[in-house]
Amino acid sequence: MPSDLEDVLAAALRLPGHARAALAAELLQSLDEVDADGDDVEEAWTDEIKRRLDEVDAGTVTPIPWPEARRRLLAAAGGRGQGR
> pTM score > 0.75 for this model?
no
Burial annotation 7-27 (CB, 10 A radius, 16+ → b, else e): eeeeeeeeeeeeeeeeeeeee
Three-state secondary structure of 25-72: HHHHHHHHHHCCCHHHHHHHHHHHHHHHHHHHHHCCCCCCCHHHHHHH
pLDDT band for position 36 (cuts 50, 70, 90): low
pLDDT band for position 77 (cuts 50, 70, 90): confident
First to last CA, the chain: 17
